[in-house]
């Protein structure tokens, strides 16, 4: 230890004698204090550093965490020109502020991996009041901000020579190392030991003789403590104020880390809760009981209910297998009703489980009598039920969708849509013939009278419905059920008193409009190339897509399309004004613009762009709108559809074009538009209309008047390579997402 001090003092003395200039004394004093709320570990670290810095002065706890510039006045009163301030947050996090008072700079660190001397209990030790050697990593000279930090460390941790309460010894080293974007601080004792001589072994003798000749001692470093790491947060130009000259972009707040951990745990909890809810719902649908004392409700699939019906079938099957020659039958005569009940007598003296021996054909007939949801639930009850459902799935699904997903022909057409349909003029709107083995599912469409070509010819070959089509069919049915769920919520949004569920007829109209929208969105709103860059008009294929629809179907599609745009405006892309009006607290326009999607024409353009999403995507984003911020939603849509902002939707323009054509035809034929306007009853949600379109008419006279008019499907349906009526055509506006 003495050799270290002597060597350093000798070098300094030689340097001082060689230069005639007066030696400038290093007068650095450090004020050490903390905020309120520090833990005992934080307090022990403060005491450890104070004992290592004899030129420091401790002060009482500082009350304020916002007016830190007042620390300069405390330093002035204590005659200190450096400040080390420990700021505790939430009783967990510790921040260290190192500042050169009163001119700065100030560096804020986040303290992590903290271990005090008492916790480590190392064998190293040093004299209290001795001066340290500061060892800096080479990285401190490479970056500008690290050079500033090095200067602060030198001022604060470097004990000046001749300071009051300091001793003229150098017996410990403080090391500062940069690794993993953090500064690792260690404190070591400089330990000197005489070399030990070895009597045995030539190698030991050689080493001993060599050390004896060189007359050197062994110098080792033994860690004392404390140890901790510092993450730079910001560096300010002045003392506890001024502009920020450096900000660490790699720093992550501990609050954010804890929030992410809580969010991850909450996500796992939500998944478990959803699975538990699904299990309970399946138990409720299957009639399973959690309490054995609870009486089980009877179901049509119970063994007792199926045994009288399945008894003859079971006996025939057992005879065929050779298990029994004859099945005795027990008949019970009821005197009150005069009926005879037949029940199966047990095989080999034991009762049988009827469902275990039900033939597959009977199971298929049972599946035919169920709707799609019940059929899927029954298939999930056991392996045999699932195997039978899988082997007969196309047949079962085609029978199950007739009741709840009609019109079936329009639904099946969505399964066989292909991009090659755009190559022919009628490919997007003419139905294709479908079959399943020898069963005809859809006859296919025919060209209207007066079509310029291919009269009387088969336009499409029959398409065989395969298993891959059934998978797509089930996914479409799931989307349809979702829209049946959310449509009434937003259709009656402006008239809450009139909110109700849709009737069976209204649900069928909604599905019919959904199928027309899905068909149009696949061809003209998706990722397929656009047929023309112009607004739909004239003989455009997009207008022909709607000309083949009747007036009734146009009303339904218009009603659905207006509701879709309302859903986007209310749930996904609200305007800035809407956010300011609907919030419970006051928001400035700048704050609302972070959530809102513009105002006026900008918001309408965003809605027109978002309307190009498919019904499945739009349903997903509406159901999960609470999980998406504005920025995340834009990023995900751009990642899925790179050219999404190249244009806006064209369905509304095509609807207006067909509406104008049919309105002119009605005026020309009837001459009294005010009596026949119900035939093109286009409802509008902002006006509070709760009838027309998909919904039933309130007045029977309007419905009767609408039924008297022609449906006009196929009106002005024509195709020509060029439209002579249009010399100059306006292009479709470009889309907009980010405001």
- In a domain, residue 352? The reply is no
**187 - beta bridge partners?**
174
Structure-block tokens of residue 518: 């899905």
Q: Which residue has the higher pLDDT, 347 or 689?
A: 689
Q: How far is the C-alpha of 82 from the C-alpha of 71, rounded, in Å?
A: 10
What's the pLDDT band for 706 if we cut at 50, 70, 90? low
- In a domain, residue 576? The reply is yes
Most confident of 10-24, 48-62, 292-306: 48-62
Q: How far is the C-alpha of 181 from the C-alpha of 146, rounded, in Å?
A: 11
- In a domain, residue 470? The reply is no
**Are 124 and 226 contacting, i.e. CB atoms less than 8 angstroms apart?**
no
Q: How far is the C-alpha of 167 from the C-alpha of 547, rounded, in Å?
A: 99
Which pLDDT value is given to residue 496?
Answer: 81
- C-alpha distances in Å from residue 645, one per residue of 526, 640, 649: 12, 12, 10
Which pLDDT value is given to residue 323?
Answer: 39
The total domain count for the chain is 2
Helices (H), 80-201: 117-120, 144-157
Which pLDDT value is given to residue 204?
Answer: 53
pTM over 0.75: no
**343 - beta bridge partners?**
330
- In a domain, residue 74? The reply is yes
Tokens 């479409």 sit on residue: 476
Which pLDDT value is given to residue 127?
Answer: 86
Which pLDDT value is given to residue 228?
Answer: 94
Q: How far is the C-alpha of 665 from the C-alpha of 181, rounded, in Å?
A: 75
Q: Is the pLDDT of residue 288 over 60?
A: no
> Residue 709 in 3-state DSSP?
coil
- In a domain, residue 328? The reply is no
The continuous run of DSSP H or E covering 134 comes out as strand 131-136
Q: Is the pLDDT of residue 577 over 80?
A: yes
DSSP conformation class of 525? T
Chosen domain end from 236, 255, 274:
255
Mean pLDDT of 382-408: 87
Structure-block tokens of residue 540: 């455009």
Which of 553, 560, 565, 551 has its CA nearest to residue 659? 551
Other CB atoms within 10 A of residue 474 CB: 14
Question: Measured in whole angstroms, how far is the alpha carbon of residue 367 from the centre of its chain?
Answer: 37
- In a domain, residue 292? The reply is no
Would strands 56-58 and 30-34 be described as parallel, antiparallel, or unpaired?
A: parallel
What's the pLDDT band for 324 if we cut at 50, 70, 90? very low
CATH of the domain at 52: 3.40.50.10480
Which pLDDT value is given to residue 279?
Answer: 78
- In a domain, residue 61? The reply is yes
What's the pLDDT band for 635 if we cut at 50, 70, 90? very high
- In a domain, residue 277? The reply is no
Other CB atoms within 10 A of residue 536 CB: 25
Which pLDDT value is given to residue 421?
Answer: 86
Q: How far is the C-alpha of 345 from the C-alpha of 328, rounded, in Å?
A: 6
In tens, the pLDDT along 507-526 reads: 999 999 999 999 999 999 98
Which pLDDT value is given to residue 109?
Answer: 95
Q: Is the pLDDT of residue 385 over 90?
A: no
Most confident of 13-17, 352-356, 652-656: 652-656
CA dihedral over 161, 167, 173, 177, signed as positive or negative: negative
In terms of phi and psi (left: phi > 0; alpha: psi -120 to 50; beta: otherwise), the region of 709 is beta
Which of 222, 123, 214 has its CA nearest to residue 172? 222
Least confident of 1-15, 119-133, 462-476: 1-15
- C-alpha distances in Å from residue 634, one per residue of 567, 569, 590, 640: 17, 15, 19, 10
Mean pLDDT of 222-231: 91
> Residue 170 in 3-state DSSP?
strand
Mean pLDDT of the chain: 79
Question: Measured in whole angstroms, how far is the alpha carbon of residue 389 from the centre of its chain?
Answer: 34
Q: How far is the C-alpha of 724 from the C-alpha of 729, rounded, in Å?
A: 11
Which of 339, 370, 360, 375 has its CA nearest to residue 474? 375
Q: Is the pLDDT of residue 184 over 90?
A: yes
Contacts made by residues 365-373, CB under 8 angstroms, sequence distance 24+ = 366/301, 367/392, 367/396, 367/399, 367/400, 368/396, 368/399, 368/400, 370/400, 371/400, 371/403, 371/404, 372/397, 372/400, 372/401, 372/404, 372/405, 372/477
Q: How far is the C-alpha of 285 from the C-alpha of 172, rounded, in Å?
A: 76
Chosen domain end from 220, 255, 290:
255
442 — phi, psi (to 5°)? -150, 130
What's the pLDDT band for 236 if we cut at 50, 70, 90? very high
Which of 609, 403, 467 has its CA nearest to residue 525? 609
Q: Is the pLDDT of residue 738 over 60?
A: yes
95 — phi, psi (to 5°)? -120, 140
What's the pLDDT band for 148 if we cut at 50, 70, 90? very high
Q: How far is the C-alpha of 205 from the C-alpha of 249, rounded, in Å?
A: 57
Q: Which domain holds residue 136?
A: 27-255
**Are 597 and 640 contacting, i.e. CB atoms less than 8 angstroms apart?**
no
Q: Is the pLDDT of residue 611 over 70?
A: yes
- C-alpha distances in Å from residue 528, one per residue of 178, 249, 420, 521: 53, 41, 10, 10
Which pLDDT value is given to residue 452?
Answer: 55
What's the pLDDT band for 352 if we cut at 50, 70, 90? very low
Q: Is the pLDDT of residue 303 over 70?
A: no
**Are 223 and 184 contacting, i.e. CB atoms less than 8 angstroms apart?**
no
């Amino acid at each position: 230890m003495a050799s270290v001090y002597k060597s350093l003092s000798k070098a300094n003395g030689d340097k001082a004698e060689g230069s005639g200039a007066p030696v400038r004394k290093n007068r650095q004093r450090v004020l050490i204090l903390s905020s309120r709320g520090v833990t005992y570990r934080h307090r022990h670290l403060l005491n450890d550093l104070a004992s290592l810095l004899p030129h420091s002065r401790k002060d009482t706890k500082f009350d304020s965490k916002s007016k830190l510039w007042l620390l300069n006045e405390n330093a002035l009163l204590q005659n200190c020109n450096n400040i080390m301030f420990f700021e505790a947050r939430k009783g967990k996090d510790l921040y260290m502020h190192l500042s050169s008072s009163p001119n700065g700079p100030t560096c804020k660190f986040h303290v992590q991996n903290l271990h005090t001397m008492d916790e480590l209990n190392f064998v190293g030790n040093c004299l209290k009041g001795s001066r340290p050697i500061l060892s800096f990593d080479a990285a401190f000279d490479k970056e500008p901000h690290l050079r500033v930090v090095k200067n602060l460390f030198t001022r604060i941790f470097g004990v000046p020579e001749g300071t009051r309460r300091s001793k003229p010894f150098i017996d410990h080293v403080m090391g500062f190392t940069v690794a993993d974007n953090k500064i690792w601080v260690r404190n070591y004792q400089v330990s000197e030991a005489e070399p030990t001589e070895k009597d045995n072994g030539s190698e030991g003798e050689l080493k001993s003789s060599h050390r004896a000749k060189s007359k050197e001692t062994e110098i080792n470093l033994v860690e004392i403590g404390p140890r901790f790491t510092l993450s730079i947060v910001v560096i300010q130009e002045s003392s506890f104020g001024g502009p920020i000259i450096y900000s660490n972009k790699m720093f992550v707040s501990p609050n954010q880390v804890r929030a992410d951990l809580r969010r991850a745990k909450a996500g796992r909890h939500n998944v478990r809760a959803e699975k538990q809810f699904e299990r309970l719902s399946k138990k409720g649908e299957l009639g399973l009981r959690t309490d054995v004392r609870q009486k089980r409700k009877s179901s049509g699939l119970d063994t007792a209910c199926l045994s009288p019906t399945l008894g003859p079938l079971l006996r025939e099957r057992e005879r065929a297998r050779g298990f029994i020659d004859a099945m005795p039958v027990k008949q019970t005569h009821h005197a009150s009703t005069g009926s005879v009940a037949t029940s199966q007598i047990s095989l080999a003296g034991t009762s049988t489980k009827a469902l275990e021996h039900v033939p597959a054909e009977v199971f298929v007939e049972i599946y035919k009598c169920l709707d799609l949801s019940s059929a899927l639930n029954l298939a999930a009850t056991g392996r045999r039920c699932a195997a039978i459902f899988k082997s007969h799935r196309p047949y079962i699904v085609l029978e199950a969708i007739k009741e709840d997903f009609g019109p079936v022909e329009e639904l099946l057409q969505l399964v066989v849509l292909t991009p090659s349909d755009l190559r022919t003029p009628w490919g997007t709107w003419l139905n294709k013939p479908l079959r399943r083995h020898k069963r005809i599912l859809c006859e296919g469409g025919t060209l209207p009278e007066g079509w310029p070509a291919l009269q009387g010819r088969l336009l499409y070959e029959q398409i065989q419905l395969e298993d891959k089509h059934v998978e797509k069919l089930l996914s479409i049915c799931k989307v349809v059920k979702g829209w049946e769920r959310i449509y009434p919520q937003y259709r009656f949004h402006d008239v809450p008193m009139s909110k109700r569920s849709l009737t069976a007829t209204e649900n069928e109209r909604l599905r019919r409009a959904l199928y027309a929208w899905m068909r149009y969105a696949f061809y003209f709103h998706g990722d397929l190339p656009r047929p023309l860059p112009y607004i739909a008009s004239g003989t455009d294929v997009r207008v022909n897509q709607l000309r083949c629809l009747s007036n009734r179907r146009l009303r339904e599609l218009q009603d659905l399309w207006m509701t879709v745009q309302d859903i986007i405006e209310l749930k996904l892309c609200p305007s800035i004004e809407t956010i300011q009006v609907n919030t419970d607290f006051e928001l400035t326009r700048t704050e609302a613009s972070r959530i809102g999607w513009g105002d006026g024409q900008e918001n309408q353009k965003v809605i027109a762009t978002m309307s190009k999403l498919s019904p499945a995507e739009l349903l997903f984003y509406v159901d999960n709108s609470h999980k998406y911020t504005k920025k995340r939603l834009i990023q995900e849509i751009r990642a899925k559809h790179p050219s999404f902002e190249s244009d806006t939707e064209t369905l509304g323009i095509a609807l207006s074009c067909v509406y104008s054509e049919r309105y002119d035809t009605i005026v020309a034929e009837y001459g009294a538009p005010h009596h026949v306007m119900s035939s093109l009853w286009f409802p509008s949600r902002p006006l509070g209309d709760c009838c027309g379109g998909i919904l039933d008419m309130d007045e029977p006279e309007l419905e009767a008047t609408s039924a008297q008019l022609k449906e006009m499907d196929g009106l002005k349906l024509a195709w020509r390579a060029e439209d002579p009526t249009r010399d100059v055509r306006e292009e479709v506006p470009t889309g907009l997402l980010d405001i």
